[in-house]
Structure 1
Amino acid sequence: MVIYIDILLIENFIVNLFLLLITLKVLRYKYYKTIYIAAILGSLYTLVLFMNNKILASLPFKLIVVLLMLIVSTRSFKILRIVKSSITFMIMSFTLCGFTFAFSIMENYYSIFEGVKIENYSIKYLLISVMMLYIFIVRVSDYVRDRALVNNFIYDIEIINDKKSIFIKGLLDTGNALREPVSNLPCIIIESDFLNSFNIKSSDEFLIPYSTIGEEGNLKGFKTKEVRIRGEDKEWKDVEVIICKCKNKLSKENEFNALLSRGVI
């Protein structure tokens, strides 16, 4: 029997990814892109079959691999969560093995005295295709749901100052409560490149103290004549805010260029 290592690894990668997604979806646990690394780890473990090593092929070592796969997928080290997800993963694995064995008996000769010998298993690729379709649907649905969630918090922003205006998109940061301490006005953080056309006098600038995990400092801000925002209702709303400059890029995909504190809405 000829075994192609590359095909074996790809097939096991698909099966592992399918089982991981099913497990974490059932438990409603959050998973990350590292789930692909976990699936690769499980796929590489199949190479143990060719090493004839009893220790690596033992049940305790298999359980360790399962634990590592789930830790990598969820980035969680909570013992109860890991144990629960590991048990669910093994139940899903046994269920899938039962289904595949049942299908294999349908295509191969089976005898109570001679056992079963699998020589033909054409339905394997149908099962793998179903797994790939499920993986694709899950990823697309997750992407669409995430995009819809982000879009709900995206606002149009128009800033007018001395006959100059800019039009950008901003993300409502519900965890951001940044305010100018004297006027108590909420702040909008905008990438500094969009504010280069504004001539701001130093006497009109504000210093807004901020504090994040592991970092403290002051942001330079200014108050402009007119700021309007527009959300899903498509109606413009005048707001009184302090505009703060930010040197960093706020969105890698350039989906928004400003952050609104929750006091703006």
Structure 2
Amino acid sequence: MAIYLDVIWFLNFCIDFLLLWLTSVILKREVSKKRLAVGAFLGSLYVLFLFLDTAIIYHPIIKFFYSVFIIITTFGYKRFGYFVQGLFMFYFSTFITGGGILGLHYFLQTDAKIVNGVVKTQSSGMGDPISWLFVILMVPIMLYFTKKRVDHIEVRKLRYDQVMNFELKIDSLTLKGVGLLDSGNQLHDPISKQPVMIVDMTVFADQIPSAVINHAKSLDSIGELVDEPNPWQDRMRIIPYRAVGSANQFLTGFKADSIGIWDNGEKYETSNVIVGLSFTNISGEGEYNAILHPKMLSNAKVTSTAS
């Protein structure tokens, strides 16, 4: 069997380059293509060492220190934590890509036969052109898939990091729920300039007085309310807003006595809040039932800390 060493080396160089690139993308590190190429070149040299008549290069310790050398060459050494993060993420990228390719290979493999009740498989070895073609095609696909999954996880983590428990107090009523701290929420009461949070009335409708709900639902396009007395008449507010692709609209709200928000074990409390009422579901997956205004936290005071 003929082995084209230059082809194998170049293939490994390309794979190492992509793995180091994926590592830099996941860690959000600015690395020049030149350093990525140098690191990939050092990594690809290991393939040449495999043809040397020595067994020490197969030892896990040698492999570990060789990968350490590759990471330091590619990303540099700023501090120990920085280096360890790069090393472990490089292993993660390598294992998840290699494991995915290996899993797909065996998933699609059809060369198994049953002979006299015994399952037998056949393989033509490392030099099989079909196997190499499979690797060449699958490495970029697995790298792309891994990057997309990591990006998705980061988005989900960002969303959950911004989700906080809250407790609203209005007269003798207390509303408890989970709110999303949204930096894009810039709603303010035009008169008092107080920030406006939005609560999901599909969740809290049964706790709000029916007269308040009727007022909110009767709001027409010019911001007028049906004249119907309700216990929160003095608290009612009309907040104009404009959504993308639509004309000016109005949101009905009311002034709350106070709101408590829990963030990282600390309770922030403020009375500087208007509660807007939304009659459409604001979280399709039910992760939260209110949208918090960022200024509610900046204007709040820490009243208690979890032990």
Are the aligned partners of 1:161 and 1:198 in contact in 2 as well (CA < 8 Å)? no
Shift of 1:162: 4.2
Q: Distance in 2 between matches of 1:194 and 1:182?
A: 28
Give the TM-score of the pair, scaled to structure 1: 0.50
Shift of 1:245: 0.3
Bigger radius of gyration: 2
3-state SS, counterpart of residue 121 of structure 1: helix
Are the aligned partners of 2:169 and 2:175 in contact in 1 as well (CA < 8 Å)? yes
The question of 1:255 aligning with 2:265 is answered no
Q: Give the equivalent residue in structure 2 for 1:212.
A: 243
Deviations 1:7-65 (CA, angstroms, capped at 9, x unpaired): xxxxxxxxxxx9xx98xx79x9xxxxxxxxxxxxxxxxxxxxxxxxxxxxxxxxxxxxx
Q: Give the equivalent residue in structure 1 for 2:226.
A: none
Write the letter of the residue equivalent to 1:152.
Answer: D
Q: Distance in 2 between matches of 1:164 and 1:126?
A: 63
Q: Distance in 2 between matches of 1:172 and 1:180?
A: 18
Shift of 1:139: 2.4
Shift of 1:216: 1.0
Q: Distance in 2 between matches of 1:220 and 1:122?
A: 64
Deviations 1:64-86 (CA, angstroms, capped at 9, x unpaired): xxxxxxxxxxxxxxxxxxxxxxx
Shift of 1:238: 1.1
Deviations 1:166-204 (CA, angstroms, capped at 9, x unpaired): 322222222222111222211111111233212242513
3-state SS, counterpart of residue 291 of structure 2: strand
Q: Give the percent of matched residue pairs that are identical in Structure 1 and Structure 2.
A: 24
Are the aligned partners of 1:166 and 1:194 in contact in 2 as well (CA < 8 Å)? no
Counting only pairs closer than 5 Å after superposition, residues 2-81 of structure 1 correspond to structure 2 as none
The question of 1:198 aligning with 2:208 is answered yes
3-state SS, counterpart of residue 174 of structure 1: coil
3-state SS, counterpart of residue 263 of structure 1: helix
Shift of 1:225: 2.6
Deviations 1:193-237 (CA, angstroms, capped at 9, x unpaired): 233212242513111121233321211111223311122x22111
Deviations 1:224-265 (CA, angstroms, capped at 9, x unpaired): 23311122x221111221111012221222222211223212
Shift of 1:107: 4.5
Q: Distance in 2 between matches of 1:184 and 1:195?
A: 25
Q: Give the equivalent residue in structure 2 for 1:93.
A: none
Are the aligned partners of 1:195 and 1:245 in contact in 2 as well (CA < 8 Å)? no
Q: Give the equivalent residue in structure 2 for 1:139.
A: 148
Q: Give the equivalent residue in structure 2 for 1:79.
A: none
Write the letter of the residue equivalent to 2:256.
Answer: T
Report the CA distance shift for 1:215/1:254 in structure 2 as closer, same or farther (over 3 A): farther
Are the aligned partners of 2:197 and 2:276 in contact in 1 as well (CA < 8 Å)? yes
Q: Give the equivalent residue in structure 2 for 1:70.
A: none
Between 159-168 and 171-180, the greater mean CA deviation after superposition: 159-168
Q: Distance in 2 between matches of 1:222 and 1:198?
A: 11
Q: Give the equivalent residue in structure 2 for 1:230.
A: 262
Write the letter of the residue equivalent to 1:261.
Answer: H
The question of 1:242 aligning with 2:251 is answered no
Q: Distance in 2 between matches of 1:122 and 1:239?
A: 64
Report the CA distance shift for 1:128/1:223 in structure 2 as closer, same or farther (over 3 A): same
Structure 2 portions without partners, runs of 5+: 1-17, 29-125, 213-229, 298-307
Shift of 1:146: 0.8
Shift of 1:122: 2.6
The question of 1:159 aligning with 2:177 is answered no
Q: Distance in 1 between matches of 2:176 and 2:136?
A: 51
Q: Distance in 2 between matches of 1:131 and 1:252?
A: 33
Are the aligned partners of 2:202 and 2:281 in contact in 1 as well (CA < 8 Å)? no
